[in-house]
Amino acid sequence: MTTLHLLTHPEATHVVDGLVGGWYDADLTERGTQEAHAVAAEVAARLSPALAAGERVAVVSSDLVRCRRTAELVATALGEGVPVRLDRRLREQSYGAAEGRPVGSCAWRPPASGDDALHHHDGVPGSETRWQVADRVQASVREHLAAAPEHLVLVTHGGAATYVVTTFVGMAVEAVGPVRFVTPPGSISTLRLDPATGDRRVESVGDLGHLGHLGHLERSSR
C-alpha cells in the first residue's frame, strides 16, 4: 500500500500583502508558521506507527520558500533520516510579469465559459497555461510514486495540488482543464494506492481538522 499525503503550504506573506503569488518567493507569515508546526505534528502523529514498523517515508516539496519551510518542519517532526527533496516542478502556476505586484494591477484574461481552459493563456507576459502546470506536476508525481515509498509526503501549492490529485487517480491531462480540487492553505489530503487491487482511493481532500485550535480561516494559497 502506498499512501500519498498531500500538503498545501499555510498562510504566506504575499496573500496578506495583497500581492500576486505564483513563483513569487513569499515566506510564511507568523500565523502560517504556527499552522506549519500544526501540520508537521499531525503528519508525524499519523506516520509514527509506520516509522516504528520500518516503512519508508519520502518528503518532496516545491522549492519555493513557503513550501520548503513547511516541508522542513515536517521532516524534523518525523525525525532523523527523513530528508527533504526539492522539486521545482511542484511550483504553483507562474503568473509571469504579474508576480509580486499588487493584485489587480496587471490586466489578465480568465477563461470564459466554453473556452479551452487547459490551453487558455491569460495574456500576461511569461505566465503559464494550466496545461503547462499540469504537465510538469504530472511528471513529478509519477516519478516520485514510481520510487514506491510506503508513504510519500508531498508539499505543494493550492493550485498545483489539483494536478497532484488528477495524476494520482489517472485522469488524462486533456480532461483536467476545468477540474479543481479545493485544498485550502495548511490542509492535508490523503490518497492511497492498493497494489493488490489497483484501487486508487481518494480518502480525504483539503482536511483542516488539525488547524481547528488555531481558528483557521480559509484563504487563497496561491
Q: Which of 58, 101, 104, 63 is nearest to 81 (CA)?
A: 58
45 contacts 155 by C-beta, under 8 angstroms: no
* Sign of the torsion formed by the C-alpha atoms of 21, 23, 27 and 28: positive
What are the backbone angles phi and psi of residue 97, rounded to the nearest 5°? -65, -15
**Cα atoms in the 13 Å half-sphere on the side-chain side of 187:** 22
Q: How many domains does the chain have?
A: 1
Query: What residues contact residue 3 under an 8 Å CB cut-off, 6+ apart?
Result: 150, 151, 152, 190, 191, 192, 193
Per-residue pLDDT at 177 exceeds 70: yes
CA–CA distance, 196 with 154 (Å, rounded to integer): 23
Look at residue 221 and tell me if it is in a domain. Answer: no
Which pLDDT score, from 0 to 100, does residue 216 have?
A: 46
Tell me the whole-structure pTM to 2 decimals: 0.93
Look at residue 218 and tell me if it is in a domain. Answer: no
143 contacts 153 by C-beta, under 8 angstroms: no
Look at residue 10 and tell me if it is in a domain. Answer: yes
CATH at residue 88: 3.40.50.1240
pLDDT digits (tens, 9 = 90+) for 15-53: 999 999 999 999 999 999 999 999 999 999 999 999 999
DSSP category for residue 128: P
Which pLDDT score, from 0 to 100, does residue 215 have?
A: 62
68 contacts 86 by C-beta, under 8 angstroms: yes
Distance, C-alpha 138 to centroid of its chain? 12
* Sign of the torsion formed by the C-alpha atoms of 210, 167, 86 and 220: negative
Look at residue 155 and tell me if it is in a domain. Answer: yes
Range of the domain at 119: 2-213
Look at residue 179 and tell me if it is in a domain. Answer: yes
Per-residue pLDDT at 107 exceeds 60: yes
pLDDT digits (tens, 9 = 90+) for 145-161: 999 789 999 999 999 99
Query: Grid coordinates in use for 215?
Result: 481558528
Look at residue 153 and tell me if it is in a domain. Answer: yes
What's the mean per-residue pLDDT of the chain? 93
